[in-house]
Amino acid sequence: MEPIKTERVAASPLALPELPIRPARLEDVGSIHRLLKHYSDRDILLPRPEGDIFHSLREFKVVEWNGKIIACCALQIFTRDLGEVRSLAVAPEHAGLGFGRRLVGVIEQEARQIGLSKLMALTYEVRFFSKSGFEVVEMNVLPEKVWGACINCHKFRNCDEIAVLKTLSP
């Protein structure tokens, strides 16, 4: 397994954001796992086992450049109304080039298309989500998340992530 590099790429920032976003494929699982692990090792994301990524593969969108996955994000559905932006990660050398924003936009569009009215995320990057129209909310506003997924998390009693929520217009 090749480690994720941390130096910036000497490619034009104007050319990279035009890379297409596509649904994840089975061959992407290892790359997605390594990308998420890079951030979970730094306590920026919660760890996700590779098996969990296989199980939820259809939820993922990715950005590929030169045969490598450089960004990913997933849409997890909780209820008829609520979905979550989950596992958003951009390779460090491609950070700040708009891939995260574009991925959240694609996830938001998909959420609208299937009829969700709210989209949430748990994050340390509040400013990033605020720029996309999300607002900080108390965790108790999201019982579907807290009692559906958070209760099984090792941080459940001491969660330091911040909940953000966006109401989607049709």
- Number of domains the chain is built from: 1
Please, what sign has the CA dihedral across residues 164, 80, 74, 108? negative
C-beta atoms surrounding 113 within 10 Å: 8
Report pLDDT for 2: 42
Report pLDDT for 144: 56
Contact 47, 34 (CB under 8 A): no
In this prediction the pTM is 0.82
In a domain, 6, yes or no: no
Q: How confident is the model at residue 59 (pLDDT cuts 50, 70, 90)?
A: very high
Lowest-confidence segment of 84-98, 104-118, 136-150 by average pLDDT: 136-150
What value does the mean pLDDT take over residues 135-140?
87
Can you say how many angstroms the Cα of residue 154 is from the centroid of all Cα atoms in its chain? 19
Reported as a single tens digit per residue, the pLDDT across 123-132 is: 888 999 999 9
In a domain, 123, yes or no: yes
Q: What ranges make up the beta strands (E) of the chain? A: 21-23, 60-65, 68-77, 82-90, 118-123, 135-137, 162-167
Angstrom CA distances, 166 to 56, 67, 112, 119, 138, stand at 23, 33, 12, 5, 13
Find the CATH number of the domain harbouring 53.
3.40.630.30
In a domain, 29, yes or no: yes
Of 141 and 105, the structure prediction assigns the larger pLDDT to: 105
DSSP 3-43: PPP-SPP-S-TTTGGGSPEEE--GGGHHHHHHHHHHHHTTT
What value does the mean pLDDT take over residues 33-46?
92
Structural domain that includes position 132 = 16-167
Q: Which helix (H) or strand (E) holds 111?
A: helix 99-114
In a domain, 7, yes or no: no
Residue from 79, 75, 165, 80 nearest 120 by CA: 165
pLDDT above 80 (res 121) = yes
In a domain, 2, yes or no: no
What value does the mean pLDDT take over residues 25-31?
98
Report pLDDT for 95: 93
Angstrom CA distances, 8 to 13, 63, 94, 134, stand at 11, 17, 6, 28
